[in-house]
Amino acid sequence: MTEPSNAYEYLDHVDPRERARLAAVRRYRLVDQPVEDAYDRIAFIAGALFGTPIATVSLVEQDRVWLAACHGLTGVRQIGKEPGLCASVIAQDDVYVINDAAVDPRTLEHPLVRGELGLRFYAAAPIRTHDGYRLGTVNVIDSVPREADPRRLQALEHLAAIVADELELRLMVIRSAAAEQRMRESVN
C-alpha cells in the first residue's frame, strides 16, 4: 500500500505561524482564480483615490504574490515574493508607505525600483482577517515620488477592511455550498 501524497509537503519546514497564515490565505480559494468584480472595484477606487497609475489587491502566498485585482499592469496576475514589498506589509499591522523608493534604504536595491517599472511611491494597507491573519494588501504604486496624506492612508486601510469583509462573505458561500453538498450526499 502506498503512502498518501502530501499536497502541501513544501510547508513541512515552514514556521508554524506562517503555515497558519498560508492556510488562512487558501481557505478563501481566491488564489489562481479569475478576477472578481468586488476586488477589481476596490483596486480601481484605491488608484483613483491616490491618483496613481497602478493599484492592486494582492494575496501573499509562500513563494509568490497573487494579484486578485490589478489596475495599470496589463496581463500581470502574480509576481515573485522576494524581495517583496507586499511581504513587508504583512509583517506589520500599519499602513506601509514609501514616499521615494530611490532614496528609501528599504528599497534602494529592489528590482521594481531599479527595473523597468521605476517604482518611486508605494503605499499599502494589510488585509487582516477577522481572526487576525494578514493575507495581503491593497496598494497603490507610482513612478514618481509623492507624499501620502493621513486621510488617504486611512481610506486605504478601510479598503483593505472591505476586502477582508468580502473574503468572509466568500468563505460563507464556500462553506454553505459544502454543507449543501454534504446534505445532498447524505440524502442519496
Res 82: pLDDT? 66
Neighbouring residues of 68: CB distance < 8 A, sequence distance ≥ 6: 30, 31, 33, 35, 36, 39, 56, 57, 58, 59, 136
Mean pLDDT taken over the chain: 88
* Mean pLDDT calculated for residue range 115-121: 84
pTM score of the predicted model: 0.86
Q: Specify the residue for cell string 454534504.
A: 182
Decide if pLDDT at 24 tops 90. Answer: yes
Strand-pairing partners, residue 142, are 121
Can you tell me the distance from the alpha carbon of 107 to that of 124, in angstroms, rounded to the nearest whole number? Answer: 14
Q: Pairing relation of β-strands 78-80 and 64-71?
A: antiparallel
